[in-house]
Structure formats: structure tokens, C-alpha cells
Structure 1
Amino acid sequence: MLRNVTQQLLIEDDERTARLLQLDLLFLLSGYAPAGPQAAPRGLAELISAQCGRFPALDPHLSYEFLIDVNCEEYRRSGDIRVFSAGRDAALERDFYLGHHLSEPWAKSAAYGLRSLVLPAAAARPAAVLDDVVEHLAEFTRYMARYRKLSQEAFNRFRPYHMGHPGGPRGASGAFMPSVHLLELALLPPSEGYGIFLDQSMSYFPSWSRPVIARWRGDSIRGANVSQRLRDGRLVLDRAGRERLVRVIDKFVDFRMAHLGVTRHALPEAFRERTGLTRRDIREQGGEHDILDGRDPGTSGFSVRHVLTNAVYRLLALRADLTRPGSAPADQ
């Protein structure tokens, strides 16, 4: 079979076809993941490397972009989707991928809405923008909540094929959905801990998003984010506008808490310590925890508990700052 694929590689120059062929090769490679990186045929790894040589933008491992975006785009075009499961579990796995793919535009729209408030030509009606962002985040969270119906057993039948291995690339994880990170960067500047996550994740985000995340991150550090613009008076909101912004933060926290709950249900072994996971607990945890501590890694290879609780903590800290009397100027 690999010899036949080699002949196909030699005659295909179309980028779309190359992406689909790479998707198939990466699914074949990931089929060996539970047995370890040495189990895959050498010829398969050589084919993947050859494809990357011909098309440098292709990922050499099963990434979020290939697993979710390339895979689901082809499903929407042709009805064909790649899964590792069989029978009813195959449909559940398909829906898991589609849920990520179909939900992200809501997060992306929310991110660009917030971004419009901090650009030089800022939106003329910030209240309307914030109302739209609230609705986009509510819809995004509804998608996430549906994953509660996915059983641990079904999830753990296909998750092993998404995993990385020590010394190899990180796994194909929802942590690398880019629009969630664009949303946070538009809202507040990256903390030191979040910066570590972004540094180590950049090559795992979808290729289109890497320069966007880098640019938004730099802009956010320099003050082009909603919280800093409000603090320095360059974004002025009346009382109703500030209440709308707090609702945006609350909806973002709702998403983060739903994600935390779904992950806790799917990966109970990563949450052996069952306390410290409520909003109050996280708000009072006193700072961000080390995402590189090596315990209880998620599919991404980071500490899944700390990645998720840190994200909630940053938002709750921002909410507390914004709701403190006299925290920022307002147009009364």
C-alpha cells in the first residue's frame, strides 16, 4: 500500500489533495500511537517527511488543524470523515470533531468583536458590540456543554490516537483551538504563565492562526486589549456598557467552567484531587499554577487541571478588578 501511495505522491501537486493525503498518512501514523513511536513502519514516516518537503506548510504530526479543520472541511464537502472508532462510537467521534469545528466561528466572531473595540478606528457603538459578543459566547458555550453526553468509555476509545509521546510532538488537543486564545488576548494582556503556554503551543496552532496570535499577543502586551484601554481611558463605557463587559467576562467564564467540567468528566484521572474546582475555589487560589509540573497531563501534554483552572482564574481576577469601585473611568 505504501508503494502505491508513493506513486500518488509523485503525481499530485494540488495543495488540497496534498492536505487530504497528509491527513490519511497522519491517521495511519497515529493508529500506531498506543503501541509507541517505534511501532510505525519506517516507510510511513518517510512518506510523511517527503510530503512536508514538497509542501512545507503541512504538519508532520496529527495536529489540531488536521484532525479537526482539514478532516471536517472534507466531511462537509464530500461526506467523508476520518475516525479511529467503529460502529456507534464512530458517530460519536465524528460529532466530537464536528463540534469543535462548527463551534469555533462563534468564538472567533467574539474575539474579533472585542478586537474592534481597541483598534485605532474603534467601533462606534461598543454597547452593541458587547451585546453581540455575549450572544456569540453563549452559543459557543452551548456547543461545549453538549460534550457532557460523551461517555468516558467512548472518549477513551479514540483519545489514545490523539496523544503525543515523551520527546515527540504534543497531542492533537482542543487546547490548540486558536480563537479562544484570540478572545483572551483581545480582552486582557497575557500573564507570565499564559505566555509560557503560548510560547510552547505556537507550532501546534493551525497554520493560519500563528501569525494572528503572535500579532494580537504583541498588541495586547502593548496595551491593545479591552481591559487596558478601559483602564487608561481610551475606551470609555457608561455604567450600562461596563455591565455589558462584565456579562462578556461571565459568559467567557461559563465556557471555561463548562470545558473544565467536561474534561473532569472525561479524564477523572487528571483530577484526582477533587477539591479546588469551583468558581470560588479558583478565585481564591492566589495565582496561576505551573502548567509544566508534569502531573496529570492532558492530550496537549500540559497539566490539564492547571491550564483550565488558570484560564478561569485570569478571568475572575479581571472581573473582580472591573467591578471594584473606582477601578476605571466611566462616562456617566
Structure 2
Amino acid sequence: MSDCPVFDGHNDLLSKLWASGDRHGTAFFEGRGDDLDLVKCRAGGFAGGFFAIWAPGDPATAPDPMATYRAFGPIDPEGARQATIEQAAILHRMAANRPDVIRICRSAAEITAARAAGAIAAILHIEGSEGIGPGLDELYLYHAAGLRSLGPVWSRDNIFGHGVPFNFPASPDTGPGLTAAGFDLLRICNRLGILFDLSHLNEAGFWDVAGRSEAPLVATHSGAHAVTPATRNLTDRQLDAIAESGGLVGLNFGVAFIRPDGIKNPDTGPEHMLRHLDHLIARLGEGGVALGSDFDGTMIPAFMGSSAGLPELVAAMEGSGYGPDLIRRITWDNWQDVLARTIG
């Protein structure tokens, strides 16, 4: 397919720019990024997605990034709040300085308009809500600044709930679910039209959201536990609940989450991604599957290399018998549909 735009459920460009001290996104605009920059986006058909804010913990306490089991302790809320503000400001600077290149979108209609203008459509997302206090004051301010998607936890615990540690092979059922503050956060997100992301929640938290949410269930960047039994992936029972709600799963490209052996090895072919896509389609239907790369936040397969290699995945889908309508749904249309029903 020569013209196949991609809307992607997750990238960590903002936290990468922030960590490097690049407050204006210069590396992105000049084509000097890793997985994601303007040159690579144009080459790969990357036309929009969720731009995540993520606050890191103390590097001295972080586990070995190549370890099979990785658990992370809580982080300082004040430091997280500052990191959240500064990373949101990076996206606002980028959009203010180059609206021809990137736009912050607050609705599905604005995504469509950005696409028509040739600009990258950016949904502002928070991954792990340590930068929000129990009174949720910050949530209202972030919403006014364009926040339209939020993950209550990353893979660590906070005042809202319990993140699932990274482990393989293991169940995502790793502890208790949402706290009382977490249920308040869910309720206000539903009211404001902020997508409540299930990725990184443990299984108990997932079922707490499933039992209370008024919106479709969405996991922006996850995979199928039946294919790769990593804690970050979703069981068939969870997938069935997402399907019943009319929700969606964006496939995570992280090699440890798509390989059947759970190993971080970039020598990972497209067949592993297709195995997940096939399983997700079988459980969710053709309207419930999309992409959630985790560009700039995980090790992606070498055959793709970066966002410039997205056409390689499209070609693999074509070679596996996916028709053009299904491919377009996975790469663009399904995200637009679920966003229209969540953020408006």
C-alpha cells in the first residue's frame, strides 16, 4: 500500500527529549532522533499518535534493563509533577513553533484536520500519574492543556493503583487493584473525556476499571498473553472484556513482549508481530486492533529499525493476506473510531 498513514498508540519522544535537555524538540525537527523524528516519520508514514509524558525514578535504584524480572519502587510526586509540566511544555513549544509539522489534537475531528493539513496529529498522554495529587487539581489543568489520554500507573505503584512489574513467564495478576483515589481518577477522566489507558495496570486494576468505566476499555500498547506470557500482556479473558466494551488494543512493538521466549533480542521478525495481530483480531474483531509501538521507549525489532520502517510491517501484513481495508483499520481507522467515542 503506497499510501498507508499510521496512527500510533504510544511513543516516548517527549521524555527522551526532556532527558537530553532538548526543550524545543530540535533533534526531532532536524532528523536526529532515535526511533522517532520528522525525517523518519515522513519516510514511514507516521501521521499521528499518543505522545507520552513519563517521569523516571532514581537511576540508582533501577533494575537491570535486560533482566527478566524488573520491579520499580515509587517515585517522588513533586519531581514527577515538575517532569510532567516540563514534558507537556516541550510538546506545546513544538506545536507552537511548527504548526505545519505537528499539532496537539483534542478531538477526533482535530486529528482529521491535522492529517488533511499534512501535520502530525499529537494526542497528549500521561503514562503513570505520579504528577497528579489526590485532589486531582493537576488533572484539570493538564486537561485544559490538551491532555486526552492517561495511564493511572506505569509499572510501579502510586496513590491511584498498582502497576504490573515486568516479568516472564508470569501472570499479570500481581496484587491489588485501584485505590479509592484511583476510582476518583477514573470517574473524572470519564467525565472529562480523557481516555483511561489500561496498559501497565495489573489484572486486578484492569477488572476494577472494567467494572466501573463508562467508556470503551483501551490498552494503548500491549500484546496477547496467550502468545507471549509476559505480565505486560493481556489474557484472553481481558481481551474478551475489551471486545465486549467496544474497546481496542494497540500492539506494543517491544521485542520482549512479542517474542514467544520473552527475550530482549532485536533479531525478531515480523512473524512474531503477526502472530499477536492474528490473535488479537480473533478475540477483538477487526475493529478492535491497532498499533501502539512504544517508539523511543523499548527495544523494537531490527527489521523495522525505527518509525521509518513502518512500511515493512505493512508489507508483512500484506504478505500474510491482510487486505487493504483491514490494514487501514489497524494503522489508522480503528484509533479514530475509538477516540471519537472516548475523547469526542
User: Which of these two proteins has the greater Rg computed from alpha carbons?
Assistant: 1
Whether TM exceeds 0.5 here: the answer is no
Between Structure 1 and Structure 2, the one with more helix by share is 1
